């Protein structure tokens, strides 16, 4: 399977974690979601490796449709997060993200050798990318607060 393939397929965890982090997840929920991203990707990889029979033509067709559907889904989750905090809506929305994002691992690792090491690499890579995503969301909040602080300060000084 390779570390680089696991890295590429964990970018969805990174971007989803940024969106969830910006939508207002608290720290306890973030820790649980980080674990969920890793476990969902790992379990989907095991299921895909154990049960799938690869068909290259089918995979190419599914890839395009899956990417489009995934983009729409992530946009919907992000917009829900903007309009409502995750706390005020059902937490099912945020918990569905790792499960849905694990589906790419179900399809794409078909035909690769099933080893414990491969699964551990997928789990750790996905969890690490999720952690980075939540950290980036915090960083973006700090930048936004800093810009707002400077704006208020300049307005006060120049008035």
Residue whose entry in the numeric block shows the structure tokens 């476990």: 39
pTM for this entry = 0.72
Give the structural domain span for 33.
3-158
Q: Are 86 and 16 in contact (CB under 8 A)?
A: no
pLDDT number for residue 111: 56
Number of domains in the chain: 1
pLDDT number for residue 149: 73
Per-residue model confidence as pLDDT tens for the chain (159 residues) = 456 777 777 888 888 888 888 877 888 889 999 999 999 888 888 887 766 655 555 555 556 666 666 667 666 666 665 555 444 445 666 777 888 778 777 766 555 666 788 888 889 999 999 999 999 988 888 888 887 777 776 677 776
Q: Are 58 and 116 in contact (CB under 8 A)?
A: no
**Per-residue tokens: 130:** 């999720």
CA–CA separation, 85 and 91 (whole Å): 10
pLDDT number for residue 67: 67
């Amino acid at each position: 399977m390779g570390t680089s393939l696991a890295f590429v397929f964990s970018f969805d965890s990174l971007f989803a974690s940024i969106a969830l982090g910006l939508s207002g997840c608290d720290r306890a929920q973030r820790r649980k979601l980080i674990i969920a991203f890793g476990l969902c990707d790992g379990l989907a990889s095991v299921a895909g490796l154990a049960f799938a029979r690869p068909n290259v033509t089918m995979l190419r067709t599914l890839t395009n449709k899956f990417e489009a559907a995934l983009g729409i889904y992530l946009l919907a989750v992000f917009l829900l997060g903007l309009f409502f905090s995750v706390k005020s809506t059902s937490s099912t929305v945020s918990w569905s993200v790792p499960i849905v994002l694990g589906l790419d691992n179900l399809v794409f690792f078909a035909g690769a050798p099933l080893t414990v090491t491969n699964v551990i690499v997928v789990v750790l890579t996905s969890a690490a990318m999720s952690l980075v995503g939540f950290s980036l969301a915090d960083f973006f909040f700090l930048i936004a607060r800093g810009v707002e602080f400077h704006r208020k300060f300049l307005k006060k000084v120049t008035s």
